[in-house]
Structure 1
């Protein structure tokens, strides 16, 4: 008789997206079982996704994961592009580093997927989380909630021949482009496969290319397209290039590593190139597809299970981690009983729109990187490298993640104060804790533990005293706008413009949660909040601005939370 396991969530796919979700949900106190048909810890060959951009780094930092990953990976803050052996200052990846935007994490972290997964897995298992390796989902049945709210019954088959039944409240498909969860749920996966084939090789290389160790380089090759060069951790590098029609006719899909290595040597011309050791390599074709739904009842999809694209802009793992971060706190709050299940609809509307934007960009990027100019951009010129550079520049803020924004919904409500748009990343800023000479970042005191941050920008106390006192009376009353919120579902913070020896004394009333000082008023300025008026800002657990109101409008906070919380 098969063993039966009951958990809140069954996650299929123990890759970076599945593990990141498992970690978030486990530290919110939920029971998780994550399975994978492979045992990643036993794999000797690895490669795949490598580069993490600033917004992803901010998310990982707010989940207390980035510090460990920074100790492993390569910090990239520069790039060089070459053509015919000479530097091109006019185009290339370096433009990204000059437009990092309003972030203190102004770098790209190059870390191979295996090592990201190792960090996520260790942190999840440290919380007592279970990983079932060499288990495959074979059957899935969706039914009405039972007395314990279990709606999904899954049949698993083990590599050694055993079977297991898992009853869960939700099932998450993080099991890649061929997702079994998606197929069993009958969710369409629409898009197309391109004729382009790309090669990626990781290993220990020798080259006389200048600045080969700085992070990202590119070589504009007539034969091999836009050749990618990435410095990875542990002294490893990656080279990537496209197979043109002539090469594909020569090798087909049976290209060997010896043939790929020979082409890599040509791709690096006029620089010398030798391979000392290969750690991983792949020849793959490009797919650009998106699932019709990311949410279907208790079935949820994330990462490659619901969108696939090329690695041309290095967005794959970043986009999957954005999915995981967006879904994690929402599902955790639903399971915790304080968020309405309808909030999961915002996961699909927000992340599917972002994924579709990426796929639209990727169609153009992959065409250019393969040595062709997209038909719709023919007016930009005949050189695919120049066209790629212009398209890349236009989308930099989206690519680094800082510019991703979500449309209005129950979580993103037009603010009454400030000028930051709801649905956009709330600006990070430097604050001072009481008595400290060392600044701390707002994102460091608003960690993503699944709770909202209600921030009182108190302005200059001598100018906002009346409004602050009135707000204190409302907060102390039995009808406080936060009374409906379960204990532990939000944090209060006070940010005072200037500095004082004691926050309560400066305000004339008790501060709202912990107090921090905006010594030079830049925090107020970044949120476009007048220091003579102040405001209340609500940040979602993932750092996105939910809404903002004037100090004398606390009742609107109650309206905001009532749309998606259970009373």
Structure 2
């Protein structure tokens, strides 16, 4: 089986999702992690709408929603006063089945993913470290060191580096990791507390000297605090405890911490590796890109990397696509990572900048501008689309083509909520199958129907409704969906000739 096996280094959310998707697609996997046990603490918290949409492919969405905390909105505070609030429910209504921010700590998230992977018959091999690898005629030979210190070799068709910012796989590929590290030291504390901000929303406090984010973990009891450490207070940063950090923001917000479950400090980096692929080795998640916590994008982006790569590896290993398809992983995901690091860097610098001008912008200008912007429908929708990652697209990439209505090849398929006009059907329901499929909104031509039937390509026809027009779809057009639910081809004519030409060009047999 090693001629088809994918070896995954790193059992965080990125590596676990990759292992689950590949296993569901029939690809044998081996997943190793150098840590002796899964982490019991974490910084990543947000599970965004796009991740929840994709999780429905493997039946994870409901489990995540049951275990986490649905966060209906965000509130902005300055000097102990609430200055602005935005409701996610209102902003995201009609855009996605999940119009909210979902808080689910990474350590708990990992335990769920591990359990699901074990139910599929795959266990994480703990205490196993990647030392190096070399390509052979048939695949890869990977050097491993086990928990007993003994070195062994393993054969694999491909190697996926999901092994974090200090990735051994990236080191073995010999690629750079340009970027930098922010000067500020941050802390994260898992606490039980009470007070006005323990309201179930995400609460952000922008002070002249401090930054504090309060992420709710339940309805008003547990929260995760993320804030800055003031380095001008003569603290021993190597032995820092929660009692040592500046409590000005906490005190102004009248947050009374009754118990500290755990506390740690960290520096924030912003980097994107030069290459995401080197022959048969790939980089995903923090091994490929790392950025500020602004917007809670990190874990979701790594999960997106995994799902993008999984179906492509499966297609190539099954002989249904050329090796060149794998180049599209880097083209699509690196372009997004570069944009993401740039945008989160701008927001992060605004929230944490120091000096009188920065203080004025953060504590006076932002509280004035944000409430006004929040009243503008287009701005609210843009903000939600961006943070939730539903606006992420692969337009102008090698395997994206066409345009029908306002939907381009490479776009996420717009969600059409069930309604009487469309017979109560949810157009996302068929996407649970990780297969190529064609969607038509309106009427499909007999030629297209026959062509899809001859090739065993699922054809889903939905009644036309006003919502279809609102979301930019074109009546009678053919939308070819990839196994990861993105539009591969948008053809306004709805003709099978366009689909035939597309598959011939990219060399894929669905």
The answer to whether the superposition gives a TM-score over 0.5 is: yes
Alpha-carbon distance, 1:208 to partner: 2.0
Q: Which residue of 1 aligns with 2:332?
A: 350
**Structure 2 residue 182 is the aligned partner of structure 1 residue 186:** no
Of 392-401 and 403-412, more deviation after overlay is shown by 392-401
**Corresponding residue for residue 144 of structure 1:** 137
Determine if the alignment matches structure 1 residue 491 to structure 2 residue 458.
yes
Distance 1:5 1:59, change over 3 A: closer
Per-residue deviation, residues 241-261 of structure 1 (Å, max 9, x unmatched): 1123424xx22531422xx33
The answer to whether the Cα contact below 8 Å between 2:216 and 2:222 also exists between their aligned partners in 1 is: yes
Per-residue CA deviation, residues 114-167 of structure 1 (Å, 9 max, x unaligned), is 12111211111111113111111112112222xxxxx11111111222333210
Query: Are 2:101 and 1:108 aligned?
Result: yes
Q: Which residue of 2 aligns with 1:241?
A: 227
* 8 A contact 1:244–1:370 mirrored in 2: no
1:444 aligns with 2:429: yes
Among 74, 78, 90, the alignment partner of 1:79 is 74
2:411 counterpart residue number: 424
Q: Distance between the aligned counterparts of 1:130 and 1:183, measured in 2?
A: 26
Using the TM superposition, give the Cα deviation of residue 28 of structure 1 relative to its aligned residue in structure 2, in angstroms.
0.6
1:266-305 equivalences in 2 (<5 Å): 266-305=248-287
Quickly say closer, same or farther: Cα 1:552–1:220, change in 2 above 3 A: closer
Local SS of the residue matching 2:268: strand
**TM-score, structure 1 normalization:** 0.81
Closer, same or farther: CA 155–191 of 1 in aligned 2, 3 Å:
same
Contact 2:394/2:411 (<8 A) preserved: yes
Alignment map for 1:83-102 (pairs within 5 Å): 83-89=78-84, 94=86, 98-100=90-92, 102=95
8 Å CA contact retained: 1:204, 1:278: yes
Deviation at 1:538, TM superposition (A): 1.0
Q: Which residue of 1 aligns with 2:240?
A: 256
Query: Aligned pair in 2 of structure 1 residues 299, 346: CA closer, same or farther (>3 Å)?
Result: same
Are 2:154 and 1:166 aligned?
yes
* CA distance in structure 2 between the aligned counterparts of 1:186 and 1:52, rounded to whole angstroms: 32
- Rounded Cα–Cα distance in structure 2 between residues aligned with 1:407 and 1:552: 20
2:245 and 2:18 map into 1 onto residues whose CA distance is: 39
Instruction: Quote how far apart the aligned CAs of 1:541 are.
Output: 1.9
In the alignment, the residues of structure 2 paired with residue 412 and residue 16 of structure 1 have an alpha-carbon distance, to the nearest angstrom, of 27
Q: Does 1:65 align with 2:42?
A: no
| Structure 2 residue 215 is matched with structure 1 residue 230 | yes
Give the whole-Å Cα distance in 2 for the aligned partners of 1:552 and 1:440.
Answer: 21
Matched with 2:292 is 310
Partner SS, residue 206 of structure 2:
strand
Superposed counterparts of 1:311-350, under 5 Å: 311-350=293-332
Q: Which residue of 1 aligns with 2:201?
A: 215
Three-state SS of the structure 1 residue aligned to 2:306 is: helix
Unpaired runs of 5+ residues, structure 1, are 146-150, 460-466, 498-519
Residue 562 of structure 1, aligned match among 497, 504, 508:
504
**Deviation for aligned residue 1:525:** 5.1
Cα distance change, pair 565–70 in 1 and its aligned pair in 2 (3 A): same
CA–CA distance in 2 between the matches of 1:373 and 1:562? 58
Distance in structure 2 (CA, Å) of the matches to 1:432 and 1:168: 48
- Structure 2 SS opposite 1:493: strand
Q: Which has the larger radius of gyration?
A: 1
Where does residue 510 of structure 1 map in the other structure? none
Q: Which segments of 5 or more consecutive residues in structure 2 lack a partner in the other structure? A: 374-378
Mapped partners of 2:251, 2:501: distance in 1: 63
Deviates more, 1:362-371 or 1:554-563: 362-371
Partner of 1:500: none
Query: Do the aligned partners of 2:209 and 2:354 also contact (CA within 8 Å) in 1?
Result: no
Name the TM-score, length of structure 2 as normaliser: 0.89
Q: CA RMSD in A?
A: 2.9
Select 1:175's aligned residue among 160, 163, 169. 163
Q: In structure 2, what is the Cα distance between the partners aligned to 1:373 and 1:18?
A: 41
Aligned to 2:327, the other structure's residue is in SS state: helix
Q: For residues 137 and 192 of structure 1, what CA distance do their matches in structure 2 show? A: 25
Residue in 2 aligned with 1:522? 467
Residue of structure 1 in register with 2:477 after alignment: 535
Task: For residue 541 of structure 1, give the secondary structure of its aligned residue in structure 2.
Answer: coil
Q: 1:233/1:113 Cα in 2 relative to 1: closer, same or farther (>3 Å)? A: farther
Shift in alpha-carbon separation, 1:293–1:275, aligned structure 2, 3 A: same
Alignment match of 1:9 (pick from 6, 25, 50): 6
